[in-house]
Chain A
Amino acid sequence: MEFKIIMPRIRRELYNREICACSIFGAMNQDGERFTGAGVMLAIANMRVRGNGLGGGFAAYGIYPDYKDYYAFHLMFTGKGPQAKRSAKKELDAFLCRNFDVVYDEEIPHGDETSVSDPPLVWRYFVLPKKQGEDSLLSDEDYIVGKIMWVNTRIENAYVFSSGKNMGCFKGVGYPEEIGEYFMLDKLYKAYTWTVHGRFPTNTQAWWGGAHPFSLLDTTIVHNGEISSYGTNRWYLEMYGYACTLQTDTEVIAYAADLLMRRQKLPIEIVAKILAPPIWNAIDRMNEKEKKLLTTLRMVYAPLLMNGPFAVIIGQTGRMIGLTDRIRLRPITAATRGEMFYLSSEEASIRLISPQFDRVWTPNGGEPVVCELNSMRKVLQ
């Protein structure tokens, strides 16, 4: 009898991480009144020099009132030629049918395909989880996150890039205003929160999945910066089942936000102190209670400290949050006008669409700016 002994060796990870600088912009109506993407497209176009046409994207909250109780999956099928895209879609469709009840699906309407470079097939599905066997013990969210990780790592050329309720991401390669026009965001959709991103990657091999925002469930991130702690953040998140597949450092912020806010139910003020904690010198001077809290947070969540320069706008249902790294190496400006709330890399962009402000300020490093809807009712109805 012959035996074949195989000794598997764990291969080192040869992931590539893209680095980019960017423009970010966010606008929110605190009353929940919905407005089109025309204004934010104008504002982000004003920061054209902060990008280089290799990535732009939008997150919009409140765009699917007719399907508000269903998870809206936006799928991207890449690959060379329509054949590859269709075969990826076929595989994905089979997977979705096994694990979800799909109530409606369609191709996301778009403009002329020649106006952008190499667009993938972009499709949206409105679904409810179909939990079976052991999975029925999971919450809906955990179930969906698990399935998304499965699709993104196992199904070649298929990427779920948006998965929340009553919200959606639109992104691609090009200047953000071009992507906005391609998906006709100024005509087809109305949202109470828009966040936008214009990208300047140093890596020229741009792909549609690598554009911002990054999202998981209803949390979206647009990010300007580089996360030097990526390797550390990544292994910590991997321990909790998050697969980092999108070849960019931004997704770790999205997963960290999901882990801390959704799964561990920590309030945003605490989460901000985890992602961008005060320095020890400052903590040591605080009163005993604060000192104990912040010391414990830094001790327990040290691997989630986001190091390196960054400014992010985190979008969630009914909420928009701005945050910079703890020594504020990337810019962010906040402004309010009536019920409108704005966050932007540059003040000029806000002034372009809202010449008058009630208040404008530059938040301190590591200090979150949180804007919440006055009433959630309007969104849910």
Chain B
Amino acid sequence: MKSFVFPEFQITRDEEKCGQCRGCERQCSFGTHTYDPAADRLISDDYKCAGCQRCVVFCPKNAIVVRPTPSFYRPNASWSREKLDDLKKQAETGGVILTGCGCDKPFRIYWDHIVLNAAQVTNPSIDPLREPMELRTFLGAKPDMMDISAKDGDVEIKTKLSPNLVVQTPILFSAMSYGAISYNAFRSLATAACKLGTYFNTGEGGLPREMREEFGRCAIVQVASGRFGIDAEYLNCGQAVEIKVGQGAKPGIGGHLPGEKVSLAVAETRMIPAGTDAISPAPHHDIYSIEDLSMLIYALKEATNYEKPISVKIAAVHNFAAIASGIVRAGADIIAIDGLRGGTGAAPKVIRDNVGIPIELAISSLDRRLRNEGIRNRCSIIAAGGIRCSSDVIKAIALGADAVYIGSAALIAMGCTLCQKCYTGKCNWGICTQDPRLSGRLNVEIASQRLSNLIFAWSHEISEMLGGMGINALESLRGNRDHLRGVGLYEWELDVLGIKGAGE
């Protein structure tokens, strides 16, 4: 059947500059560029281009430009080009439209409508280059009070403390499984996390055996509905265990790693036969209620000898705050919430773009809910989904998060351009692929350096903003909405965020 969808991108090649080196042909896994020996020139097929810009960056002569195609349908506010194209694709295939990365629709980005405070006169701002600026954060349950016995200056702590994760900066790498992303990308995240004194999350695909000893100390191991790669050693090698209930990009549905991506190594890690589809069911089939979740939480606490905090990750949906409060009462030490713009390796587009709520609103309502119930100190909140820069991090913390997870931002640091073709397994940047030819393009040393540079830079910026507000410890900003003001927001939005409008 002839497809009626025209290309998304237009490739132009400056023939004067092109040296026919065929680099672009080798770089593109989608087969966009081919060499015509008869004419001694390269031909590009716009239909195949994903717009990932790999060929543009790696062309030694800087001869290629890839831009959105200028062709258009008759402009129509209701029937956008995307709507038409998707409809045609479905008419041609009868399938569900898949996509990758986070929601790209123009829902309001609240980060961009919130401004920060700074100290003037009555309160000196603090220079982080001269004064200590503390970002160290503890993630886990805290007791309501400490019982202390003091005898001749010797102080003994009598309260039994819950295990906590210590992070040197409130930024953790979000769950991205080995299998969805390449071994090199996975290892880069682990390497950077260890170097930075923070944590990476293994995702639902297990932790390769040879990485456990070296990287276990900076790993949060995940248990998802597929239960891939889980054994006692796996649970105990990490510093925390996370039960994944939902994901911001696809709340309410499971995961599907196609058999083509299940290489021998992935199969061994996931403990499934090579080449078979790895399917995570939509619900955990042993969790149909909150009491079932509680049983799993305590089963994991038993398995890890009550030495590790247990996190529960849920997608931010309409009634999630009440659910999260139940999760805290069910025994979770950390609640990870993933917002509307959270990323994914593969999700039905209709789910990604229409289900869930923005993380900014979610953080605020969860924090308030837990405070009102007097249980805010019984858990930590990690916010995920749409954190793009250091100011997003600091705003998330002022709205009530303890720390943030970054996923897309970390991938972008390694080279990702958000082309949204992750589900094809043909990632030209070597991130979201199991093809050894492609994943070999990602150098672990360089990628982990780029990641640690990013976190270092963000931490520095956070210190600058904190110092500007006259605060020298991050904990004094947590839930401190006094330092935020909204610009261009409706009253109800300010109410949900719990912040004043600018000038109020």
Residues of A within 8 A of B (CB): 9-14, 17, 19-21, 202, 226, 228-232, 235-236, 238-240, 263-264, 266-267, 270, 279-281, 292-293, 296-303, 305-309, 326-327, 329
Contact = CB atoms under 8 A, between A and B. Distances in A.
B459 interface: no
A325 to B, nearest CB: 9
Interface in B226-252: none
Given A231-B481, A299-B142, 14 more contacts: A21-B122, A226-B122, A226-B470, A228-B483, A231-B483, A232-B475, A232-B476, A232-B480, A239-B374, A240-B374, A302-B475, A307-B472, A308-B470, A309-B123
Nearest to B398: A231
Interface pairs A-B: 10 shortest CB-CB? A229-B476, A231-B480, A307-B476, A302-B475, A231-B482, A226-B123, A299-B138, A232-B480, A264-B145, A279-B132
Interface stretch (B169-177, B262-270, B495-503): B495-503
A238 B498 CA distance: 15
Interface string B460-504: 000000000111110111111111000000001011011110001
A287 to B, nearest CB: 12
B124 interface: yes
Given A231-B480, A235-B376, A12 B124 contact: no
Contact of A19 (B123, B142, B376, B478): B123
Contacts of A270: 148, 150, 155
Given A305-B473, A329-B124, A12 B480 contact: no
A10 B480 CA distance: 18
Tell me whether chain A's interface is mostly helix, strand or loop, or mixed. loop
Tell me whether chain B's interface is mostly helix, strand or loop, or mixed. loop
Most chain B beta carbons < 10 A, residue from A9, A229, A230, A326: A229
Interface residues of B, number: 47
Contacts of A263: 145
B368 A280 contact: no
B146 interface: yes
B146 A296 contact: yes
Contacts of B126: 327
Contacts of B124: 309, 329
B3 to A, nearest CB: 48
Nearest to A20: B122
A202 B122 contact: yes
Nearest to B119: A228
12 contacts: A12-B497, A229-B476, A232-B476, A263-B145, A279-B134, A292-B157, A293-B157, A300-B161, A302-B142, A305-B473, A305-B475, A307-B473
Contact of B132 (A280, A297, A307): A280
Given A21-B122, A226-B123, A12 B499 contact: yes
Given A235-B376, A281-B132, A264 B497 contact: no
B388 interface: no
Contact of B470 (A228, A232, A292): A228
B254 to A, nearest CB: 33
A327 B470 CA distance: 11
Nearest to B477: A232
B497 A280 contact: no
Contacts of B482: 17, 230-231
B131 interface: yes
B273 interface: no
Given A14-B500, A292-B157, A303 B495 contact: no
A309 B470 contact: yes
Contact of B146 (A14, A228, A238, A264): A264
Contact of A303 (B143, B377, B472, B492): B377
A123 B166 CA distance: 52
A155 B495 CA distance: 26
Contacts of B368: 10
B17 interface: no
A211 B209 CA distance: 64
A307 B125 CA distance: 12
Contact of B498 (A13, A21, A230, A267): A13
B150 A267 contact: yes
B136 interface: yes
B13 to A, nearest CB: 55
Nearest to A296: B157
A280 B495 CA distance: 36
Given A21-B122, A226-B122, A280-B132, A12 B138 contact: no
A13 to B, nearest CB: 7
B195 interface: no
A68 to B, nearest CB: 29
Contacts of A326: 472
A19 B124 CA distance: 13
A307 B471 contact: yes
A206 to B, nearest CB: 16
B371 interface: yes
B470 A299 contact: no
Interface in B98-147: 119, 122-124, 126, 131-132, 134, 136, 138, 142-143, 145-146
Contacts of A19: 122-123
A160 B16 CA distance: 85
A9 B483 contact: no
B118 to A, nearest CB: 11
B182 interface: no
A168 B476 CA distance: 32
Contacts of B142: 299-300, 302
